[in-house]
Structure 1
Amino acid sequence: MKKMSNIYESAANTLGIFNSPCLTKVELRVACKGISDRDALSKPDPCVILKMQSHGQWFEVDRTEVIRTCINPVFSKLFTVDFYFEEVQRLRFEVHDISSNHNGLKEADFLGGMECTLGQVGITAVFFSCH
């Protein structure tokens, strides 16, 4: 757990996010429905990567676990994000098919994604479909 915390803190520093009195923590749960099966021989091994935008650049904040052979994954990983009331915080959720032989994104197939602001995200969950 400490490693993920360090990744988030590093991303927060990179994004220029500082402590503010108007701050709250938000937990995001992610699920996908109907991920396109691009490989005729096997189902995708999806992973969702959460990115945040700062100064026009996207930075990875965290990622879910890889769920093997699934077109409708419900990820157990919770994304915990600081919500700043005075700021528009842009999020990008990217779905990648992570090969069973590799965990890196260079070998992964991009399956789809979505962008929104943290203020637009519903209280319950983030659901999106990749076709």
Structure 2
Amino acid sequence: MKKMSNIYESAANTLGIFNSPCLTKVELRVACKGISDRDALSKPDPCVILKMQSHGQWFEVDRTEVIRTCINPVYSKLFTVDFYFEEVQRLRFEVHDISSNHNGLKEADFLGGMECTLGQVGPQRALPTPCLLGA
């Protein structure tokens, strides 16, 4: 089975998503606070799915582990994404309640999500610092 990052890179290359060379790889950590407890009998079993937009379509890049019975999960899974200079890379983070009986999304409840660009959450651009040479 291929790693999700390899699938992402392969899809990006095949679809010709990005014109500029990859500047760097970015690692994203994810945590959630106060997830809605929609089921009165139990707490959610949340999983975060990272999607990226290409040609108007969203495709799954990777997903976190499922953390059982938790409304404030902190995930150990790191999302590794290629950062392309001067390319707008749209991200969507979706939180799903994955049933303990199933691991698929068809049976999962959508709990919420958010969209942003990689530039909004990714590498911070450092300004060059002047170098002073002394005698």
- Give the TM-score, by structure 2 length: 0.82
Against the structure 1 CA distance between its residues 127 and 71, is the aligned structure 2 distance closer, same or farther, given a 3 Å change threshold?
farther
What are structure 2's unaligned runs of at least 5 residues? Answer: none
Question: C-alpha separation between the residues in 2 aligned to 1:47 and 1:14?
Answer: 28
Q: Structure 1 residues 58 and 126, CA, compared in 2 at 3 Å: closer, same or farther?
A: farther
CA contact (8 A) 2:25 2:82 kept: yes
> Contact between 1:24 and 1:84, CA under 8 Å: does it hold in 2?
yes
Give how far 1:16 is off: 2.8
Whether contact under 8 Å (2:46, 2:98) holds in the other structure is yes
Identical-pair percentage: 96
Aligned in 2, Cα 1:42/1:15: closer, same or farther, shift over 3 Å? farther
Does the C-alpha gap of structure 1 residues 127 and 100 become closer, same or farther in structure 2, counting only changes over 3 Å? farther
Q: Distance in 2 between matches of 1:32 and 1:50?
A: 14
Would you tell me which structure has more strand in proportion to its own residues? 1
Give the TM-score taking structure 1 as reference length: 0.85
Q: Deviating runs (4+, > 2 A) in structure 1?
A: 1-22, 125-130
Q: Structure 1 pair 110/30, CA: closer, same or farther in 2 (3 Å)?
A: same
**Relative contact order higher in (CA < 8 Å, ≥ 6 apart):** 1
Distance 2:127 2:46 in 1: 16
Instruction: Using the TM superposition, name which of 2-11 and 52-61 deviates more.
Output: 2-11
Q: Output the CA distance in 2 between the equivalents of 1:49 and 1:111.
A: 11
Structure 1 residue 19: deviation in Å? 7.7
CA distance in 2, matches of 1:27, 1:6: 15
Contact 2:22/2:82, CA 8 A, preserved across alignment: no
- The 5 A counterparts of 1:1-131 are 2-13=2-13, 15-17=15-17, 20-21=20-21, 23-121=23-121
The structure with the larger Rg is 2
> How has the CA–CA distance of structure 1 residues 10 and 128 changed in structure 2, closer, same or farther, with 3 Å as cutoff?
farther
Report the count of equivalent residues. 128
Deviation at 1:23, TM superposition (A): 1.4
Change (3 A) 1:63 1:129: farther
In 2, Cα distance between the equivalents of 1:8 and 1:68?
A: 27
Q: Is the 8 A contact 2:93 2:113 kept in 1?
A: yes
Cα distance change on mapping 1:100 and 1:27 into 2, 3 Å: same
